[in-house]
Structure 1
Amino acid sequence: MASDAGSNQSVERALTVLRVFTAGRAELRVSDVAKLADLGLSTASRLLATLEAAGFVDRDPVSGLYRLGLDTVSLGGAVLNSHPVHREARQIAQNLAAELGLGVNVAVRRDASLFYLLNFEGRQAPRAFVLAGQRNPLHATGLGKSLLTGLTAAERRALLPADRLVSYTPRTITTHADLDAEIERTVTRGYGCELEELALGRACVAAPIRDSSGGVVAALSVSGPLSAIDLQRREAELSRAVIEACDSISIGLGYVGPAHHVPMEQVR
């Protein structure tokens, strides 16, 4: 039992070290990893050496800095390729980004945040980084609010206490009353909009994706700079395209329409 406990602790510590690299800086010193993972310097050094030998981190021979290794890409690719939402959404999202010239993102909910499964860049919405695998707040994004349509008001409050409704810009929703109203609008229209709530100068249109049970399992958005997305002129066009894309993905996941399932609010 003592040996098992020690092995489990080593695995947990190694995973903590890997997660440190997903939190911001791409390259870190051993001392940085030790501090961020709350480990002793010798422990951090030993774990990094083991992870390097396994291909999960790489060490720059000149600077001595560590970064995630390419073998993590193989793991990530295998995870995404086996995920049903990713399989159904990938081609649809790629086609939509090419058609509209905007970014197209698909995300699922992971605890109290959204988790990007994939994103494609349109010619009017380039990015210098990959969104897949990153997280963002639920209350400050169109994707997040679409995901929250699958929860009751009480469940939303339990998931996101008032102190978690953090303000990112002057437009960010920071009260549950306002969040409830926005989610109700999203449910009524079948789509939601986000205008500079997470970052100034950007906007999106998003809608939920459902599976065979009728539950909300993911969401899709089109996003980009204000000059490209131009909600005042393009909202009808973009919302129609987003809803159609979400319907196609939902059908691929086995969803057969609202007439064939009882709304989750009624079940509760």
Structure 2
Amino acid sequence: MKTGFWSDMAGSSFVAQRMRAFSQVRNFSEKFFRNIREKYYALFLIGFSFFIALSDGKTEKLFLLQNRHETGQDARRHAMNTTKRPRGRPRSPFTESGSATLQSLDRALGLLTAIARVGHATLTDLALAQGLPPATAHRILTTLQKHGFADFDRHSQEWLVGIEAYRTGSAYLRRAGLTEIGQPILRALMEQTGETANLAVPDGAEVVSIAQVETTHPIRAFFPAGTRSPMHASGTGKAILAMMPPERARALLQKAGLPVFTPKTLSTPNDLFADLERTRARGWSYEADERHDGMSCVGAAIFDENGLPCAGISISGPSGRFKSVSIERFGQAVADAGSQITRLTGGTVPGSPLQGP
């Protein structure tokens, strides 16, 4: 009896285990086939939707995504792919309406030019000079500073020209080759006369210093590269004015005027044109205390391939060393140096003086 009882119990346990296993397999199978049916049903719906769309003649695309939404990036990609590109040249985002130039670039160059003219200036002064709101001027200046074209002195709270502006400007001089050719001639002129030798180019009614060789005298003239001087009060400027076409000289002077710097500045047309006539006749200019009290200058023009003045060379120093007995010698030395640079740069020295204004 005992043996039969435990035998029946073992048989019952085995059957129960088999039943539970069968139930698990059935549940798994039902779930598996139910998922398959749902997926095939979804695929059927997608195919049927496309079929209906095509049969109805619709042109739009159907984007059916299962269990997810399109991201913003996907949506933009689809919009780009489905947006029809207009014909013709696209409108440039850098072109402003009603203007042939870019306003922000105009403003940036205006601020950079303003800094270069005065050397250093506060934000308020620059904004007022350019007619800009201080906030706009500050954004432009910080952009220039980021690229090295402007610099900011935190101690004085002033803006200055950056090193990249110098490098960019120097590219023009490298292209022209004037400074490379002129340097040894400047040094020889300084040694011959004992005074500081200068090289400058015209810019409107001004001359801009581009190179200099200083004398060894403790008291001497010094004009760093980039220094501007009005033509009518500069030895180099008057030499250039005297050799350019008269109508061009008159137009420049009428536009810029004849501002007075010292009691000896030639501030009337009659006085200035008479001096230019003397300069033209002898081939070199003489400026005595006309820009700065106690400083004098002797200059001569440098000519391009067309025989027109394109630059000027000069010597400058204390007026006390420019004695009347030395002026003629200084003038001839400067004129010879100008002619030498003219020839080496491929220019042509005019064969006869130009007519007076």
Letter aligned with residue 216 of structure 1: P
- Aligned partner of 1:17 in structure 2 is 111
* CA distance 1:192–1:121, shift in 2 (3 Å): same
Worse-matched range after superposition: 49-58 or 32-41: 32-41
Q: In 2, are the aligned partners of 1:115 and 1:133 still within 8 Å (CA)?
A: yes
* CA distance 1:257–1:31, shift in 2 (3 Å): closer
Letter aligned with residue 48 of structure 1: L
Q: Shift in Å at residue 119 of structure 1?
A: 2.1
Worse-matched range after superposition: 56-65 or 138-147: 56-65
**CA distance, structure 1, for counterparts of residue 165 and residue 285 of structure 2:** 34
- Aligned partner of 2:319 in structure 1 is 226
- Aligned partner of 1:157 in structure 2 is 250
Q: Shift in Å at residue 63 of structure 1?
A: 5.5
Q: Shift in Å at residue 129 of structure 1?
A: 5.6
Map 1:6-85 to 2 at 5 A.
Answer: 6=96, 8-26=102-120, 28-60=121-153, 64-85=157-178
- Aligned partner of 1:89 in structure 2 is 182
Letter aligned with residue 3 of structure 1: P
**CA distance, structure 1, for counterparts of residue 168 and residue 237 of structure 2:** 26
Worse-matched range after superposition: 38-47 or 16-25: 16-25
**Larger RCO (alpha carbons 8 Å, 6+ apart):** 1
TM-score, normalized by length of structure 2?
A: 0.66
Q: How many residues align?
A: 262
**CA distance, structure 2, for counterparts of residue 245 and residue 141 of structure 1:** 18
Q: Indicate yes or no: 2:325 matched with 1:238.
A: no
Find 1:120's aligned residue among 207, 213, 235.
Answer: 213
Q: In 1, are the aligned partners of 2:296 and 2:316 still within 8 Å (CA)?
A: yes
Greater Rg over alpha carbons, structure: 2
TM-score, normalized by length of structure 1?
A: 0.86
Q: In 2, are the aligned partners of 1:162 and 1:175 still within 8 Å (CA)?
A: no
Find 2:346's aligned residue among 246, 254, 258.
Answer: 254
- Aligned partner of 1:179 in structure 2 is 272
Worse-matched range after superposition: 248-257 or 44-53: 248-257
**CA distance, structure 2, for counterparts of residue 162 and residue 75 of structure 1:** 29
More helix by share: 2
Can you list the C-alpha shifts for 1:77-96, whole angstroms capped at 9, x where unaligned?
22222224333222211332
| Other structure's SS at 1:3 match | coil
**CA distance, structure 1, for counterparts of residue 222 and residue 335 of structure 2:** 27
Q: In 1, are the aligned partners of 2:209 and 2:223 still within 8 Å (CA)?
A: no
Give unmatched runs, 5+ long, in structure 1. none
**CA distance, structure 1, for counterparts of residue 154 and residue 269 of structure 2:** 51
* CA distance 1:129–1:170, shift in 2 (3 Å): closer
Can you list the C-alpha shifts for 1:201-224, whole angstroms capped at 9, x where unaligned?
011111111122222221111110
| Other structure's SS at 2:339 match | helix
| Other structure's SS at 1:160 match | helix
* CA distance 1:5–1:142, shift in 2 (3 Å): same
* CA distance 1:29–1:150, shift in 2 (3 Å): same
Q: In 2, are the aligned partners of 1:30 and 1:66 still within 8 Å (CA)?
A: yes
* CA distance 1:129–1:247, shift in 2 (3 Å): closer
Letter aligned with residue 346 of structure 2: G
Alpha-carbon RMSD? 2.7
* CA distance 1:209–1:123, shift in 2 (3 Å): same
**CA distance, structure 1, for counterparts of residue 188 and residue 133 of structure 2:** 49
* CA distance 1:115–1:5, shift in 2 (3 Å): same
Worse-matched range after superposition: 3-12 or 165-174: 3-12
Q: Shift in Å at residue 147 of structure 1?
A: 0.5
**CA distance, structure 2, for counterparts of residue 111 and residue 72 of structure 1:** 20
Q: In 1, are the aligned partners of 2:119 and 2:161 still within 8 Å (CA)?
A: no
**CA distance, structure 2, for counterparts of residue 62 and residue 258 of structure 1:** 52
Give unmatched runs, 5+ long, in structure 2. 1-90
Letter aligned with residue 24 of structure 1: V
Q: Percent identity?
A: 31
Q: Shift in Å at residue 248 of structure 1?
A: 0.7
**CA distance, structure 1, for counterparts of residue 255 and residue 187 of structure 2:** 36
- Aligned partner of 2:240 in structure 1 is 147
| Other structure's SS at 2:243 match | coil
Map 1:121-140 to 2 at 5 A.
Answer: 121-124=214-217, 125-127=219-221, 130=224, 132-140=225-233
Q: Shift in Å at residue 22 of structure 1?
A: 1.5
